[in-house]
Amino acid sequence: MVKGGTSILSENIWKDALKYFAGGVNSPVRAAVKPSPFYSLSGKGAYIYTEDNKRYIDYVLGYGPLILGHENEYVKNKVIEQIEKGWIFGTPSKSEVELAKKITSHMNSVEKIRFVNSGTEATMNAIRLARGFTKREKILKFNGNYHGAHDYALIDAGSAATEFGVPDSEGIPKEVLNTVVICEYNDLNCVEKKLKTEEIAGVIVEPVMGNMGVVPPNENFLKGLRELTRTYNSLLIFDEVITGFRLSLAGAQGYYGVSADITTLGKIIGGGFPIGAIGGKREIIDMFTPSGKVFNAGTFNANPVSMTAGLATIEVLERENVIEKTVSVAKSIAEELDNIPVPHVINRVQNMFQIFFGVSKVTNATEAKKANKDQYIKFHINMLNNGVFIPPSQYESIFTSLAHYDDYVINETIDAIKKSRSGI
């Protein structure tokens, strides 16, 4: 097994992939790995192993779900047990009730849930629900917030939408664009003005921005959103697809002490299998079909494998002080990054963080875009060459997992950072 370096076999697969997939991939951020993506073969703990027999310490972690690291034994065994019994029934299964009980026990504002298959579906349905509930049409979102890949979210979106220079996607009807109102993150004045002058069904927000790098909310931002949405009878939607069960067991809401009307979840609650969820107050979630008239359905909704993996993951989070451990790793790594002798700023909230070169503060998407992306990419490549996989894009977050809570992994990472800082 070799640490980092070039990847001949992956390069051959990549040549084939370019023939079959737009840009060679099935989700754009994967094409951002330079000079070309490596092809993963397996994962164990903090490590990814590639088709080329290379090993990387993984700080991408499937873009968030793997808070326990790769192939956690407990989760794996529960999933195998489930698979031996079957994996889709087209009927309810007990696992969905167990996962719902678990999530609602941790998140006060979530009394009822609808399970779907991705964060994208979660926010799409949350928006539909807010419109159905308030009988209003407009949605307020923030510049650089990413809520997945559907029409109502791809306006001034972060993540790959910014990385590839298309924060407004082509193919979205004007009528849809006109229903989305944009403010800069952390700008409560803008939110108040829009809520006052437009009939807004809901304000959707990443409570910590994780899709423009990491951008924390200012001290009063989330509380301010809570108050303003109440005043103007609009719903507050927290998109906790990244932050749910990451910042705390009660998500960003627990961490900041602000509760939402609707919460979207994904990533961690599926333990690495496809999932999304819309949660909220009973009277809001009850508007979904069949008890209400806001339509949602799905062949794979609440599929037992994702339910089982999610439940097992949350059990480990509860039992093993996982969040505390991931935060302690994140602190050590962020401190070492801070020693890089090139002007930069590091934004970190708990176990998610990112470095921005060439700027002294990043409090919103406009400031994030001023960071020196070229320096970030050089750093990313240097890190890969030294055996560490951090996000290939400035506009993603570095994550830590339970498996990184290991002196050997931490020291190896620190060593890689030291070797990677020249030439950026």
Ligand X SMILES: NCC(=O)CCC(=O)O
Ligand Y SMILES: Cc1ncc(COP(=O)(O)O)c(C=O)c1O
Q: Which residues are the active-site residues?
A: 146, 239, 267
Q: Looking at residue 40, what DSSP letter applies?
A: E
Taking a C-beta distance cutoff of 8 angstroms, is the pair 330, 350 a contact?
A: yes
Query: Among ligand X, ligand Y, none, what binds residue 53 when CB lies within 5 to 8 Å by partner kind?
Result: none
Q: Which helix (H) or strand (E) holds 335?
A: helix 322-338
Query: Among ligand X, ligand Y, none, what binds residue 266 when CB lies within 5 to 8 Å by partner kind?
Result: ligand Y
CB of 159 to ligand X, least distance (A): 4
CB of 29 to ligand X, least distance (A): 5
Q: What are the start-end ranges of the E strands in 26-100?
A: 40-44, 47-50, 54-58
Q: What angle do CA 37, 56, 396 make, to 5 degrees?
A: 60
Taking a C-beta distance cutoff of 8 angstroms, is the pair 398, 350 a contact?
A: no
Q: How many C-beta neighbours within 10 Å does residue 98 have?
A: 15
Among 183, 284, 170, CA closest to 228: 183
Report d(CA 262, CA 250) in Å as an integer. 14
Contacts of residue 362, defined as CB under 8 A and 6 or more positions apart, other chains included, come to: 212, 213, 215, 345, 347, 356, 368, 371
Regarding 306 and contact with ligand Y (CB under 6 A), the answer is: no
Identify the residue among 125, 211, 303, 326 touching ligand Y (CB under 6 A).
211
On the CB side of 407, CA atoms within 13 Å amount to 0
Query: Among ligand Y, ligand X, none, what binds residue 52 when CB lies within 5 to 8 Å by partner kind?
Result: none
Regarding 167 and contact with ligand Y (CB under 6 A), the answer is: no
By CB under 6 A, the count of residues binding ligand Y is: 15
When the beta carbons of 254 and 387 are compared against ligand Y, the nearer one is 254
CB of 19 to ligand X, least distance (A): 21
Query: Among ligand Y, ligand X, none, what binds residue 306 when CB lies within 5 to 8 Å by partner kind?
Result: none
Taking a C-beta distance cutoff of 8 angstroms, is the pair 152, 181 a contact?
A: no
Report d(CA 413, CA 298) in Å as an integer. 42
Binding site for ligand X (CB under 6 A): 27, 29-30, 63, 146, 159, 211, 396
CB of 119 to ligand X, least distance (A): 8
Identify the residue among 79, 241, 349, 383 touching ligand Y (CB under 6 A).
241
Site for ligand Y in 330-389 (CB under 6 A): none
CB of 398 to ligand X, least distance (A): 12
CB of 410 to ligand Y, least distance (A): 26
Give the x-and-dash track for 262-301 against ligand Y (CB under 6 A).
----x-----------------------------------
Identify the residue among 210, 254, 280, 387 touching ligand Y (CB under 6 A).
210
Strands 54-58 and 112-116 come out as unpaired
Length, in residues, of the chain = 424
3-state secondary structure of 248: strand
Regarding 325 and contact with ligand Y (CB under 6 A), the answer is: no
Regarding 147 and contact with ligand Y (CB under 6 A), the answer is: yes
Query: Among ligand Y, ligand X, none, what binds residue 189 when CB lies within 5 to 8 Å by partner kind?
Result: none
On the CB side of 302, CA atoms within 13 Å amount to 18
Interaction site with ligand Y (CB under 6 A): 63, 118-120, 123, 146-148, 206, 210-211, 239, 241-242, 266
